[in-house]
Structure 1
Amino acid sequence: MITRTAFAALAIALTARGQQGATPQEMPKNEPTLPGPEDMPGPDEGVYPSMMTASATLIGSEGNEIGTANFLDGPNGEVIRIELNPDSLSPGWHGLHLHAVGTCEDVGEFKESGGHHGKVEGAHGLLNPKGPEAGDLPNIWVAADGSAGYEAFTRLTALDSLLDEDGSAIIIHAQEDDHLTQPIGGAGARVACGVIQ
């Protein structure tokens, strides 16, 4: 007959043995199994993204050609490069935006290019908590001789949307964009235009 003491000793021994053999189990993580950047092939492996390109001839307020804008799409955004000839614009900062319609036919006004690409009421400006709009870009600096060289990167849009059915235009304004004031950051008149194609 098993005594109470023997039974208690047996129970303690079995409990201790079970605790020694127990190992904590890891719960499965609900994280996506997508590869990270380090797992993706790139230029080192001879793999390059398909990069769409476009360009625009910029014309000034008198209809004369003043420079070019070139666009290059990459996997994470778009590079925009602008070159302006000497005597193109007044020196200093100028607002720069992408506009919704690909036309510059109303020379000197450039209003037919419509509002900003991807316009959202009250959302203009790179510093706007409600924005920015897809057409918002950093300002361009024009040198003392009226020329400019500019390169910017944007994740706000891509060429396939700029080259839609009615196209798009790139517009340079008379003053700088404060990146906050509605609707165009106080950038003033449109002084240069280029149809993106």
Structure 2
Amino acid sequence: MKRAAIVFAPLALSLAACASTDVSTVNSGAAGASSARAVLLAADGSRRGEAMVTEAVDGLHVAVRAMGITPGVHAVHVHMTGTCTPPDFASAGGHWNPTARQHGKDNPAGMHMGDMPNLTAGADGTGRMEFVIAGATLRSGANAVLDADGAAIVVHAQADDNKTDPAGNAGGRIACGILSAA
């Protein structure tokens, strides 16, 4: 038994050191981080889900998981300012739009880079949405979402009609999360 402990103890310590190094690097928020995360909160501060944004060669991969929201269809957008002040989250500003377009995938003059598909919440108040924002980056270039004032992910009370400028008639903002490097 002692022999096994002597042989495996250095190996276990080496693996633990590697694991802690990897975790600190991922959580450091360094400029080179390739992902960002937002915890989605309601106006009362209760958790309503989370969003993960990962940079890839084809753009930003966005995955939103919502919970505790009204069953039905809800717009989800990237907003231009990384501030989520309740109760209405107006502090998040308008949709992230570095290409100066109009709103919606069905708008001939659209779409904002922050426009994404609707999320459908089931009877249990949970839903998921995934989307790729083509040509976008986290920190570098003209289409970087994490610019000087950051960005937020916002869930709206209603569905996005995908054409009406500036916000797709999506209704009030029911959850908001500030994107920060993961």
Based on CA coordinates, which of the two structures has the bigger radius of gyration? 1
Q: TM-score of the superposition, structure 2-length normalised?
A: 0.74
1:141 aligns with 2:124: no
Q: How big is each residue's C-alpha offset from its partner over 1:25-58, in whole Å with a ceiling of 9 and x where there is no partner?
A: xxxxxxxxxxxxxxxxxxxxxxxxx981110010
Residue of 149, 166, 174 corresponding to 1:183? 166
Q: How big is each residue's C-alpha offset from its partner over 1:82-103, in whole Å with a ceiling of 9 and x where there is no partner?
A: 1223xx1111111111111001
Residue of 58, 62, 75 corresponding to 1:76? 58
CA offset at residue 150 of structure 1? Answer: 2.0
In structure 2, the partner of 1:129 is: 108
Residue of 52, 55, 58 corresponding to 2:34? 52
Q: Which has the higher contact order (CA 8 A, sep 6+)?
A: 2
Seen in structure 2, the aligned counterparts of structure 1 residues 120 and 69 have a Cα distance that, compared at 3 Å, is same
SS in 1 for 2:70: coil
Segments of 5+ residues of structure 1 without an aligned counterpart are: 1-49
Q: TM-score of the superposition, structure 1-length normalised?
A: 0.69
- 8 Å contact from structure 1 (residues 133, 156) kept in 2: no
d(CA) in 2 for partners of 1:73 and 1:129?
27
In structure 2, the partner of 1:153 is: 132
Q: How big is each residue's C-alpha offset from its partner over 1:84-142, in whole Å with a ceiling of 9 and x where there is no partner?
A: 23xx11111111111110011x2120000111111677711111111111111111111
In structure 2, the partner of 1:28 is: none
The amino acid that maps onto 2:70 is S
Residue of 84, 87, 94 corresponding to 1:108? 87
- 8 Å contact from structure 1 (residues 51, 74) kept in 2: no
Aligned length: 145
d(CA) in 2 for partners of 1:132 and 1:184?
11
CA offset at residue 158 of structure 1? Answer: 2.2
CA RMSD across the alignment:
1.8
Identity %: 37
- 8 Å contact from structure 1 (residues 102, 168) kept in 2: yes
- 8 Å contact from structure 1 (residues 113, 168) kept in 2: yes
CA offset at residue 152 of structure 1? Answer: 1.5
Seen in structure 2, the aligned counterparts of structure 1 residues 128 and 167 have a Cα distance that, compared at 3 Å, is same
In structure 2, the partner of 1:163 is: 146
Seen in structure 2, the aligned counterparts of structure 1 residues 75 and 119 have a Cα distance that, compared at 3 Å, is closer
d(CA) in 2 for partners of 1:138 and 1:101?
20
Segments of 5+ residues of structure 2 without an aligned counterpart are: 1-31
Moved over 3 A (4+): 119-122
d(CA) in 2 for partners of 1:173 and 1:191?
5
